Amino acid sequence: MASRIGYGWDSHEFKSGVPLRIGGVALDYPKGLGGHSDGDVLLHAITDALLGAIAGPDIGTLFSPSDPQWKGADSALFLREALKRVAAAGFQVENADSTLILAAPKIGPHTPEIRARVAELLQIEPGRIGIKAKTPEGVGTENAAIAHAVVLLQPKSNKPPRKKRRKSTR
């Protein structure tokens, strides 16, 4: 079985009166991201990347915005379901990379916490998670946050780890 790459993308407009969550982390900002769930663009993009890598349904098909049970839902729930499907397909996450595009807030100061939370959710080391942020200069999306994500999946190894041979003392 070969490695798989998945790509995901999401966007949400900023909206007053809702908390801002990016990568499973609550950020102090006067506006949050509107959406049927918690609007976490980064977790949505990663979820779609995971599902795409296994040729699964997209996040909107699994968690329809018209279904009231997902209203305000924590996006980590969506990511966990995608990971179950990845494991059932015989794969595990090797690494993930992402780019956030938003005018504000600045993501740099929050990158270590976001990286740690995404790594925890994906069950891999933080050094295998890329988090970058860019501003939307000239694109006309200053009132939105956009996330692009790519994941690399490797086949799960069912072999037990090899035991090290002891050197002979003869």
State the amino acid at position 27 in one-letter form. Answer: L
Using the Cα atoms of residue 140, residue 39, residue 151 and residue 121 in order, give the sign of their dihedral: positive
Quick check: is 165 in a domain?
Answer: no
Quick check: is 6 in a domain?
Answer: no
pLDDT one-digit tens code per residue, 137-146: 888 888 999 9
pLDDT computed for residue 142 by the predictor:
87
Average pLDDT rounded to a whole number, residues 108-127: 98
Quick check: is 5 in a domain?
Answer: no
Residue with tokens 């003869």: 170
State the amino acid at position 57 in one-letter form. Answer: P
Structurally, the chain folds into a number of domains equal to 1
State the amino acid at position 7 in one-letter form. Answer: Y
Query: In this structure, what are the phi and psi dihedrals at residue 35, rounded to the nearest 5 degrees?
Result: 170, 170
CATH number, domain of 34, equals 3.30.1330.50
Is pLDDT of 11 > 80?
yes
Is pLDDT of 126 > 70?
yes
Quick check: is 71 in a domain?
Answer: yes
Report residue 164's pLDDT band, with 50, 70 and 90 as the boundaries: low
Quick check: is 3 in a domain?
Answer: no
pLDDT computed for residue 143 by the predictor:
92
Quick check: is 161 in a domain?
Answer: no
Quick check: is 169 in a domain?
Answer: no
Quick check: is 81 in a domain?
Answer: yes
Is pLDDT of 124 > 90?
yes
Report residue 110's pLDDT band, with 50, 70 and 90 as the boundaries: very high
Is pLDDT of 170 > 80?
no
Highest mean pLDDT among 46-50, 67-71, 157-161 belongs to 46-50
% of the chain beyond a pLDDT of 90: 78
Domain ranges, residue 113: 13-155
pLDDT computed for residue 66 by the predictor:
83
pLDDT computed for residue 155 by the predictor:
97
Buried b (16+ CB within 10 A) or exposed e, 86-109: beebebebebbbbbbbbeebebee
Is pLDDT of 6 > 60?
yes
Q: Which of 140, 65, 131 is nearest to 96 (CA)?
A: 131
**DSSP label at 60?**
H
How many angstroms separate the CA atoms of 163 and 170, rounded? 20
pLDDT computed for residue 44 by the predictor:
96
How many angstroms separate the CA atoms of 143 and 136, rounded? 10
